[in-house]
Structure 1
Amino acid sequence: MTRHLSSLQFMNTFSTKLEKALNNLSLAQYPPDAVRSMRKFTSTEVAALLGVTEAYIRQVSLKGQGPEPETTATGKRLYSVEQVLDLRMHLAEKARKKWINPRRVKGEDCQIIAITNFKGGSSKTATTIHLGHWLALRGYRVLAVDMDPQASLTSLQGALPGFDYREGDTLYSAIRFDDPVPTEKIIHQTHIIGFDVICAGLELTEFETAVTLEMRKSGGTSFLLRVSQALEQIVDSYDIVLLDCAPSLNFLTLSSLTAATGVLIPVPAHMLDVDSTGKFLELAASYMQILDEAGAGARWDFAKFLITKFEANDHPQANMQALMRQVFGEDLLLNSVSKSTAVADALTWKQSLYEVQRSRFSAPKTYDRAIESINAANAEIESLITMAWRREQ
């Protein structure tokens, strides 16, 4: 029997159609001549970001100190993201609050955090973008690196000026074995001050083949150092680097885990996701044993599990959360990230919740619950970073 459907024709047809449709959608959201900008923040939000009272922010403004905010007809003060950073640095000069300028100081290493799991759909990219934006708004210098050929983190940046993955403008250019480019050449600044990105594309899959060929020629585990060597070139410019890993334990993920100083494993509280995470850990352990025996084992400041997409009123999820708490103990973050249509909507708009105006949501309280959940988890992760720096709070 002759089968009529050509696999090549099928794949080519729909990859082309889908790419065209998504490009058109992206152009509608962000035309080539559009300049993407961050929303402005109320004095209440600014006070929360700076860790001071709103009354103090108002007092500073009335005295004519720090940046001059925009004042609406109703008297509300609005600050741009650049002004939030300027105000932070202004207050830091007065040293009224310790670590109001949180950037690392001499003796504190750049924290490189790998966000990883076997399972697709565990919210790795959502975790990365929200953690990255939170840390940037908190005053840190953040670099987010897309390690996934599917390039979801890259897609969330919208139309980055000058970026074209087909022209080699991805991480692979900096980690390839033959003629790698300087890492600084593939870094893109975003519309959020303090938040830069290194993008991904399909060519990242070539790293797997390149490693195989390199191992045939020279053997050993030198491929594990490719990501750390690329990052070493630019870490002096950043406080925190976030690695958004692919949902697989491939050579690139192993190289990322070797470069990392900390690891974050997002896990939805569902049986299949937890079971998949168990298999991920088992496989990772077998690889780590081999690497330890070869003298290339990874050492981290912390490794934590984070429950994502959590619905507290769902009894099976509540039971699974209890099981995870029993198994993981203190290595499971206290705060879970709630499942929310607000997050799904924001990501559809290629934005994090920090970028979207609360008024854009038809049910603002849904936004409030989602942002409260994400803020709590991000604050807990931030505390892990400052603990690694051995800071006294």
Structure 2
Amino acid sequence: MDNALPDAAASEGVGLDDLERLAGRAATVIERLRSRVYAPGTEKRLDISFNVRSAAEMVGRTEKAIRDAEDDGRLPMPDKDPATNRRTGYALADINRMREVFGTLPHRAPSDPATVLAVQNFKGGVAKSTLVTHLSQYFALRGYRVCVIDCDSQASTTAIFGLNPDVDVDEEEDTLYPFLQHGGPASLHYALRATYWPGIALIPANLGLYDAEYEFAARMARDPAFVLDRLRDGIDSISDQFDIVLLDPPPALGMISLSVLRAANALLIPAPPNNVDFGSTAHFLRMMATTLAEIARHGGEREYSFVRILATKMNDQKSAHVAIKRMMDAVFPSDMLSAVLKDSAEIDNATANLSTVYELTGAQTRTETHKRCRVYLDAIGREVETLIRKTWPSHHAALRKEGIL
């Protein structure tokens, strides 16, 4: 009982020492949750594999073409099960090697602009990090070169990618924080980390990034150009390595969020179809327009290749959700994504294990719940992918051939 918080009714109140003990216990709970998923000293691995039929579909060539390339040495011979002499499956790195050999990697041309897509809403709990992690992995499965920048000190995206923000991430070396300081590094290369996902690099976050909010706010009055353009300059310093840069900003209108709005050239706005969340999204849109207009007045005008609203956490069984979604479609006829991120136990269960739906393997992937979830996650990915490809002139001929342009 010595460690219990005092009863406010029977004492003078809860003091700083008590709050520090509470914070310490909360950290212990988080560490125990993480230890269930990651054993000490181990790194998260990607265990998904693909049979030759799936590989052929992903690569855009026939199964015979793959086997012929293996037979003539253009591709390495696949691993086989000694007992059955059958292929054990291809890893994503193998798929990308095939794409390279067959010339089907979907990379943008050097003359095309890298897409810097912010998944932005000033309200928390609208599925920002869920979208960032699943979109990044969808794009990686398609063969794109992806960078994920976690701009949120809560570091949910960092944790999903297998890093303990409090242990594995140094705020002075690994996050955006050093770069956002005056006199910081010249580029963001120092912070890029390869991940266990082929094709995805990560700039992680941790709680220390929160200090940048105060420092940026203090600097804003005397050097607004530095504050507003620093993140964009950093992304420009690394964007030649990537096709798509995904930004996961904090759920608040602060200096880092403003920097994200300035750095991005495309926006995806997650909005759950309920009165409270959609009301917050309406306020966000108004605040964003007002803020960007004010920034433009100081010479910082910004245009976006596309801005789309995505209904998230949609529950078709709730009449209020259906009614508000119908209203959203009527009010934003050309601004809504057709696809919807539905409320899903599959996503919740994956997130509880610091994972994503795209990382699940084995029996978990054969349930109807999983299959339905993959269908709408893939639909979101395809729609956003098409919007991105439309911004790349080198893809226009292919888009016309596909009947999209």
Q: Return 136-145 or 308-317, whichever deviates more.
A: 308-317
For 2:180, the aligned partner's letter is I
Q: Aligned partners of 1:301, 1:225: CA distance in 2, in Å? A: 18
Q: Aligned partners of 2:172, 2:298: CA distance in 1, in Å? A: 36
Who is 2:379 aligned against? 376
Residue 307 of structure 1, CA deviation: 1.3
For 1:83, the aligned partner's letter is D
For 2:257, the aligned partner's letter is T
- 1:165-204 deviation digits (Å, cap 9, x = unpaired): 3544211111222434641111111111110110111222
Q: Taking structure 1 as reference, are residues 67 and 122 closer, same or farther at Cα in structure 2, changes over 3 Å only?
A: farther
Kindly indicate whether the alpha-carbon contact (under 8 Å) linking 1:173 and 1:181 is maintained by their aligned counterparts in 2: no
* Gapped regions of structure 1 (runs ≥ 5): 93-99
Kindly indicate whether the alpha-carbon contact (under 8 Å) linking 2:110 and 2:240 is maintained by their aligned counterparts in 1: no
Q: Aligned partners of 1:74, 1:373: CA distance in 2, in Å? A: 36
For 1:103, the aligned partner's letter is H
Q: Return 156-165 or 4-13, whichever deviates more.
A: 156-165
Who is 1:177 aligned against? 182
- 1:237-284 deviation digits (Å, cap 9, x = unpaired): 111110001111211111111111101111112121111100111111
Who is 1:292 aligned against? 296
Q: Taking structure 1 as reference, are residues 60 and 365 closer, same or farther at Cα in structure 2, changes over 3 Å only?
A: farther
Q: Aligned partners of 2:230, 2:263: CA distance in 1, in Å? A: 9
Q: Aligned partners of 1:35, 1:249: CA distance in 2, in Å? A: 34
Q: Taking structure 1 as reference, are residues 205 and 159 closer, same or farther at Cα in structure 2, changes over 3 Å only?
A: closer
Q: Taking structure 1 as reference, are residues 220 and 119 closer, same or farther at Cα in structure 2, changes over 3 Å only?
A: closer
For 1:323, the aligned partner's letter is M
Q: Aligned partners of 2:59, 2:273: CA distance in 1, in Å? A: 33
Q: Aligned partners of 2:368, 2:334: CA distance in 1, in Å? A: 31
Who is 2:77 aligned against? 68
Q: 1:80 aligns with which of 71, 79, 91?
A: 91
> Aligned pair count?
384
- 1:203-261 deviation digits (Å, cap 9, x = unpaired): 22222221232234x24443110101111221111111100011112111111111111
1:340 paired with 2:348, answer no
Q: Return 332-341 or 57-66, whichever deviates more.
A: 57-66
SS in 1 for 2:334: helix
For 1:388, the aligned partner's letter is T
Q: Which TM-score applies when normalising by structure 2?
A: 0.87
SS in 2 for 1:335: coil
For 2:99, the aligned partner's letter is R
Kindly indicate whether the alpha-carbon contact (under 8 Å) linking 2:339 and 2:379 is maintained by their aligned counterparts in 1: yes
Q: 2:39 aligns with which of 28, 31, 37?
A: 31
Residue 55 of structure 1, CA deviation: 6.8
Q: Aligned partners of 1:139, 1:346: CA distance in 2, in Å? A: 23
Kindly indicate whether the alpha-carbon contact (under 8 Å) linking 1:177 and 1:210 is maintained by their aligned counterparts in 2: no
Q: Aligned partners of 1:84, 1:304: CA distance in 2, in Å? A: 31
Q: Taking structure 1 as reference, are residues 160 and 151 closer, same or farther at Cα in structure 2, changes over 3 Å only?
A: closer
SS in 2 for 1:21: helix
- 1:313-338 deviation digits (Å, cap 9, x = unpaired): 33221221111111111211111122
For 1:337, the aligned partner's letter is L
Q: Aligned partners of 2:278, 2:59: CA distance in 1, in Å? A: 36
Kindly indicate whether the alpha-carbon contact (under 8 Å) linking 1:154 and 1:199 is maintained by their aligned counterparts in 2: yes
* % identical equivalent positions: 27
1:11 paired with 2:16, answer no
Kindly indicate whether the alpha-carbon contact (under 8 Å) linking 1:102 and 1:140 is maintained by their aligned counterparts in 2: yes
For 1:84, the aligned partner's letter is I
Who is 1:269 aligned against? 273
Q: Which TM-score applies when normalising by structure 1?
A: 0.90
Who is 2:200 aligned against? 195
Q: Return 344-353 or 310-319, whichever deviates more.
A: 310-319
Q: Aligned partners of 1:48, 1:312: CA distance in 2, in Å? A: 32
Q: 1:244 aligns with which of 248, 266, 283?
A: 248
Residue pairs, 1:131-210, within 5 angstroms: 131-159=135-163, 163-180=168-185, 182-210=187-215
Residue pairs, 1:98-113, within 5 angstroms: 100-113=104-117
1:355 paired with 2:324, answer no
Q: Aligned partners of 2:51, 2:174: CA distance in 1, in Å? A: 36
Q: Aligned partners of 1:219, 1:11: CA distance in 2, in Å? A: 37
Q: Aligned partners of 2:344, 2:236: CA distance in 1, in Å? A: 37
* Gapped regions of structure 2 (runs ≥ 5): 1-8, 399-405
Q: Aligned partners of 1:78, 1:26: CA distance in 2, in Å? A: 30
Q: Aligned partners of 2:377, 2:76: CA distance in 1, in Å? A: 28
For 1:375, the aligned partner's letter is D
